[in-house]
Chains A and B, each alone.
Chain A
Amino acid sequence: MNKRLSWFVLLMLVLGFAFLYGPIVVLVSYSFNDNKLMTLWGGFSTRWYPILLQDEAVLTAAKNSFIIAAVSATFATVQGTMAGYVLARYRKFHGRVAFSGMVTAPLVMPEVITGLSLLLLFKQLDDVIGWPDRMGFTTVILAHITFSMSYVTVVMQSRFSVFDMSLEEAALDLGARPLKTFLLITLPIVAPAVVSGWLLAFTISLDDLVITLYTNGPGSGTLPQLIFSKVRRGVDPTINALATLIITLVASGVITSHILMTRSEKRRQRDIQLALQINK
């Protein structure tokens, strides 16, 4: 094998990374810019971070975002798991095609449309039954569940479709009722997929702006909403600091989960090797 990288491969690598991470590097470095003007470098400073952390509006928006993301991700995971289970297990039932189409429709639906239709729905509901009265946490959370559930459904459906059915049959055969079987056998085995479904829903919710704009009201503004409005009023370096914090949070989350996964995989491999050596 050719051990030296050819100049072409190297160039592509550099360009690729530059394309992906260049903007982020710029953003992060300008968060340490002393100058109040975004585009002019005025020396190194960390002064935007304390300012950011004392900004009541930012902290409230961050809190709102996390509450909305956590609650909607949890509900979306429960519903998405159920939908994925049904779609993977029951090959034939009335309206299966319609159900499968509807449940994944938000994946391809333009967000502007989804948001608008939800807004109209909530307005209509308010006129007819006097609920939801006004836009706020409830409506945003419901809206987020609607689309993040689709992602969880896709994750769970693919997990359940490769699930070894004989494990459930074995549990039934040993006297466990169907619900117990699901809770004691099925769920623990698919738990990693459930967790990654939840994380996916959480990040999508945290990240969403368009649908949130339609369905949110005063007092429950999210971080993306805040950033969006701040940018419109003119960017100030606290936004860079905020973005840097978010990137750090996400990156450390990804790296931690990666380390945990590799470590458990390594342990598994070692166990298998050990088992093979001992058992002759």
Chain B
Amino acid sequence: MAAERAKAEPSTQIWNDPNAQPYIRIENVTKKFGDFVAVNNVSANIYRGELFALLGGSGCGKTTLLRMLAGFEQPTSGKIYIDGVDMADIPPYERPTNMMFQSYALFPHMTVEQNVAFGLNHDKTPPDQIKSRVDAILDMVQMRQFAHRKPHQLSGGQRQRVALARSLVKEPKLLLLDEPLGALDKKLREATQFEIMNIQDRLGITFIVVTHDQEEAMTLSTRIGVMNNGQIVQVGTPKEIYEYPNTKFVADFIGSVNLFEGNIVEDEPGHVLIESTEAGCPIYIDHGISAAPGAKVWVAVRPEKMKLDKTKPDDANNCAGGVVKGIAYMGNMSVYLIKLDSGKEVKVTMSNQRRAAEHAIDWDDRVYVTWHANSPVALLS
């Protein structure tokens, strides 16, 4: 979805412009808590107007990195620049950033209106302007009619909108969102995702979103930084991350994937041939990778890029025989669990185009799993 957005607006792919100045520069930032390394030598460039997602499991350091951007934690080493200014000695209350907290952190003793106005009161904004700006932002998040309520008089979704309004009202250069949609149910989540994208388009604020939810990251962001063990392991557009993961971790973390261990037999600029006992067939990939012959690789193939056939195809490459061990019917598609002859289990998804296909594949059927030569990605680590 986000990939389509980027395609529609090629100018937003600012990170590909060699002359563009990054808006936020994170340079070799490390954060240690005692002996524990929470963030390990992270560097990243984020550009103006981006909606950058930091994606990772719990304890991967994404929230610590966000807190360092907000100024609540100081890096043990390394530098953070926002708009060219070194943030080392700048306390949170002087940074051009605002944060939306995971817990929303609404002040319980203040009304919605007072919560939203709090930031403006400390900003030397003239009182008459405060009122109109608060009203405008509450209109935007559709919370104007609740202006005089206290946070405990609001539902979860409403609190979340107030928290968003409060972090937006100062029009920060950089907005930090910590698991912004974590506490919402699915419907509200989707609505809010689009609301955030709208706001971002309209106000042109740079967003950094921390999330553990890959779907949220894929939908919202212009680019994703996947984090693991305190490091950013890959940065790219949602499409790049999904289609061309650079490690087994990323391939496995984003979406679902089948991994075959193998060795390179032929590595030409135009193709690679990989021998894999796990797959039980030679794997042919139609683009080269630069690795030594004989090197150990993992071949990643997404379940939706695989096909099932009951009859054996002619091409011996990219074709693994097996038996259907399970079928999960999901409505629009079905997931098949296939036990290959090597003993390896793979997942294959097929869309249910017809209501009752004549050649329906059933439990314990003998099938052949095939995939196109441009589908797999060979990973060296």
Contact = CB atoms under 8 A, between A and B. Distances in A.
B186 to A, nearest CB: 15
Contact of A171 (B107, B150, B157, B170): B107
Contacts of A166: 101-103, 105
Given A173-B98, A185-B107, A271 B92 contact: no
Interface in A230-280: 268, 271-272, 274-276, 279
A166 B155 CA distance: 19
B118 A176 contact: yes
A26 interface: no
A167 B105 contact: yes
Interface in A171-186: 171-178, 180, 185
B92 to A, nearest CB: 4
Interface string A96-133: 00000000000000000000000000000000000000
B101 A169 contact: yes
Contact of B72 (A169, A176, A275): A169
B343 interface: no
A249 B248 CA distance: 73
A189 interface: yes
A56 interface: no
A180 B119 CA distance: 12
A188 interface: yes
B93 A279 contact: no
Contacts of B93: 172-178
Contacts of A185: 107
B129 to A, nearest CB: 15
Contact of B92 (A167, A172, A188, A189): A172
A149 to B, nearest CB: 26
Contact of B119 (A174, A177, A178, A272): A174
Interface string B84-125: 000000011111011101110111110000000011001100
B334 interface: no
Contact of B170 (A172, A175, A189): A175
A272 B151 CA distance: 10
Range of interface residues on chain B? Answer: 20 to 34
B153 A272 contact: yes
B21 to A, nearest CB: 25
Contact of B150 (A167, A188, A271): A271
Interface string B53-88: 000000000000000001110000000000000000
B316 interface: no
Main secondary structure of the interface of B (DSSP, over half): loop
Interface string B342-367: 00000000000000000000000000
Contacts of B91: 172
Nearest to A191: B109
Contact of B122 (A167, A176, A272): A176
Nearest to B70: A173
A37 interface: no
B75 to A, nearest CB: 17
A170 B108 contact: no
A177 B123 CA distance: 11
B101 A175 contact: no
Contact of A169 (B95, B105, B106): B105
B158 interface: yes
Main secondary structure of the interface of A (DSSP, over half): helix
Contacts of A177: 93, 122
A169 B102 CA distance: 12
B25 interface: no
Given A271-B150, A271-B153, A275-B154, A171 B118 contact: yes
B166 interface: yes
A216 B102 CA distance: 55
A145 to B, nearest CB: 29
A174 B153 contact: no
Interface string A145-172: 0000000000000000000101101111
A279 B157 contact: yes
A173 B97 contact: yes
A176 B118 CA distance: 9
A174 B101 contact: no
Interface in B308-324: none
A180 B166 CA distance: 18
A75 B49 CA distance: 52
A275 B94 CA distance: 36
A175 B91 CA distance: 10
Contacts of A173: 70-72, 92-93, 95, 97-99
Contacts of B105: 164, 166-167, 169-170
Q: Which of A170, A176, A268, A271 has the most CB of B within 10 A?
A: A170
B107 A170 contact: yes
A233 B10 CA distance: 98
Given A175-B122, A180-B122, A268-B152, A189 B97 contact: no
Interface string A21-59: 000000000000000000000000000000000000000
A136 B71 CA distance: 51
Contacts of A169: 70, 72, 92, 99, 101, 105
Contacts of B166: 170, 174
Nearest to B157: A279
A170 B99 contact: yes
Interface of B: 70-72, 91-95, 97-99, 101-103, 105-109, 118-119, 122-123, 149-150, 152-155, 157-158, 166, 170
19 contacts: A166-B102, A167-B105, A167-B107, A167-B108, A169-B99, A170-B101, A170-B107, A171-B118, A173-B70, A174-B93, A174-B98, A174-B166, A175-B93, A177-B93, A180-B122, A272-B153, A274-B153, A276-B155, A279-B155
Given A164-B105, A268-B152, 18 more contacts: A167-B105, A167-B107, A169-B72, A169-B99, A170-B107, A171-B107, A173-B70, A173-B92, A174-B166, A175-B94, A176-B93, A177-B122, A178-B93, A188-B109, A189-B109, A272-B152, A275-B149, A275-B152
